[in-house]
Structure 1
Amino acid sequence: MSTDDPSSSPPPERPQRRIRSFVLRAGRMGSGQVRALAELGPRFVLPYAAAPIDAAAVFGRQAPVVLEIGFGMGQATAQIAATRPDTDFIGIEVHEPGVGALLKTIGEQGLANLRLIQHDAVEVLEHMIAPASLDGIHVFFPDPWHKKKHNKRRLIQPALVALLASRLRPGGVLHCATDWEDYAVQMLEVLSAEPLLANSAEGYAPRPDYRPLTKFENRGIKLGHGVWDLVFLRKG
């Protein structure tokens, strides 16, 4: 008979869960998205690697670089890239249907200034984006986690904002947008508290021309819902 008594042993320590920038949800893939992933993914999707990206080598030119976190299905991302051909864009999204949809659009519109990464944004920022290397960061309509008990899961938190600010060049732009007022209040408070950032406006900013109105946003505006843009600059 064994002398070990499991009941007398201390319980094993539970590993701490690392906060991620997303919650993975299932989604259906259309045939066009599947085809785009297979045919265009090898060219336009950058594999995750724990080494800084050489944007000039990736895009084949020297140009301003803007990172977008969570592009959804990619309609706004594609529109911004199409209207700003002199800027290179890197979009991060973990949901495969969105990646496939944006790849399909890239193929249809011939968007050479856009690359995608299908990985957790925090790890990408930590390992693939060098300090002071970005000219802009876009965070449009992140999950609001509207229940108060879930607010701690929101993406825009002090630690992440400090990381975002460190990846911007002096004068670089951090542009966030949300259609949840209490999240806008939190964003303004957190962004204003980051010492590397300065608000470009007195409070919330007018929507910059480069950020297109989405169908969802247009519908909300017609119903009287608000949208809040926050545009902060990296201090020199």
Structure 2
Amino acid sequence: MNASSDTPPRSIRSFVLRQGHMTAAQQRAIDEYWARFGVDYRAEIIDLNAVFGRNAPKVLEIGFGMGAATTEIARRLPESDFLAIDVHGPGVGNLCKLLAEQGLENVKIMRHDAVDVVENMLADGSLHGIHIFFPDPWHKKRHHKRRLIQAPFVAKLLPKLQSGGYIHLATDWEEYAVQMLEVLNGFPELANTADGFAATPAYRPETKFEARGKRLGHGVWDIIFIKKCFNAQGCT
């Protein structure tokens, strides 16, 4: 498994590396199931249909935590394939374990910086959807520049999205939600599916973290935009 890279420092990163304890079960799941679910990073465009072994809508998920929501979404949307990217070992191991336990074959995992993957491995127009749920809000104002959802990163994502494809963001930090909305509204090729924030779609399950926050009175905001079609024949 290609777990790291020797890339130079960059201004955009999709993660902050934190130490986490890898359990024996998580490491065993990686060792046993990586060949089945894992995709190693390489700096060349890949054919996602070949990777998944079928022609189906492809959804990129950036940051999947411990993988429970990813697994549930894949179960609810069996007609779609999901390329799930995260760098944290315990979550990678846990997602491998969950996929094997549930017999799901429509998820592939990458343990790498998503910015590199987007820039170097994904063909333009290859994605039907993009999911980024609960990215680090970087609460302190002086750290806002570290937030993932900013115009330069969205500009990298949009060419990979098909016309008619969608980008779905979610956060439990209201000020970040407002920023996300402003960023996506700044792209003329995107159209909001709602008048402001969107209702949570049926495919996105409530996480334990989210449920606990709601019990404490915290809000959750979903933002869903569609990439407009610019051809006379409609979206292709």
Residue correspondence of structure 1 range 57-72 to structure 2 within 5 A: 57-72=50-65
Distance 1:162 1:72 in 2: 24
2:65 counterpart of 1:87: no
Distance 1:136 1:171 in 2: 9
**Residue in structure 2 matched with residue 187 of structure 1 by the alignment:** 180
Could you say if the C-alpha distance between residues 109 and 16 of structure 1 is closer, same or farther in structure 2, counting changes exceeding 3 Å? closer
Does the 8 Å CA contact 2:12/2:153 hold for their aligned counterparts?
no
Question: Counterpart of 2:189 in structure 1: which amino acid?
Answer: L
Question: Counterpart of 1:122 in structure 2: which amino acid?
Answer: V
| Cα deviation 1:36-89 (Å, max 9, x = unaligned) | 110101221101011122111111111000000000111000000011111100
Question: Counterpart of 1:141 in structure 2: which amino acid?
Answer: F
Residue correspondence of structure 1 range 4-15 to structure 2 within 5 A: none
| Cα deviation 1:15-45 (Å, max 9, x = unaligned) | 9644311110111111111111101012211
**Residue in structure 2 matched with residue 12 of structure 1 by the alignment:** none
Question: Counterpart of 2:115 in structure 1: which amino acid?
Answer: V
- Deviant stretches of 4+, over 2 Å: 15-19
Could you say if the C-alpha distance between residues 194 and 51 of structure 1 is closer, same or farther in structure 2, counting changes exceeding 3 Å? same
Question: Counterpart of 1:175 in structure 2: which amino acid?
Answer: H
The two structures have a TM-score, normalised by structure 2, of 0.92
**Residue in structure 1 matched with residue 44 of structure 2 by the alignment:** 51
2:16 counterpart of 1:23: yes
Distance 1:204 1:150 in 2: 24
Could you say if the C-alpha distance between residues 177 and 31 of structure 1 is closer, same or farther in structure 2, counting changes exceeding 3 Å? same
For 1:61, what is the secondary structure of its paired residue? coil
**Residue in structure 2 matched with residue 73 of structure 1 by the alignment:** 66
Does the 8 Å CA contact 2:12/2:148 hold for their aligned counterparts?
no
Question: Counterpart of 1:166 in structure 2: which amino acid?
Answer: P
C-alpha displacement of 1:162: 1.2
Distance 1:160 1:127 in 2: 14
2:65 counterpart of 1:111: no
Could you say if the C-alpha distance between residues 82 and 154 of structure 1 is closer, same or farther in structure 2, counting changes exceeding 3 Å? same
C-alpha displacement of 1:218: 0.8
- Give the stretch that moved more between structures: 44-53 or 71-80: 44-53
Identity of matched residues, %: 60
**Residue in structure 1 matched with residue 204 of structure 2 by the alignment:** 211
Residue correspondence of structure 1 range 130-209 to structure 2 within 5 A: 130-209=123-202
C-alpha displacement of 1:178: 0.3
**Residue in structure 2 matched with residue 235 of structure 1 by the alignment:** 228
| RMSD over aligned Cα atoms | 1.1
Structure 1 gaps of 5+ residues are 1-14
Distance 1:204 1:22 in 2: 25
The two structures have a TM-score, normalised by structure 1, of 0.92
**Residue in structure 2 matched with residue 225 of structure 1 by the alignment:** 218
Distance 1:53 1:65 in 2: 13
Question: Counterpart of 2:211 in structure 1: which amino acid?
Answer: N
Number of residue-to-residue matches in the alignment: 222
Question: Counterpart of 1:147 in structure 2: which amino acid?
Answer: K
For 1:67, what is the secondary structure of its paired residue? strand
For 2:79, what is the secondary structure of its paired residue? coil
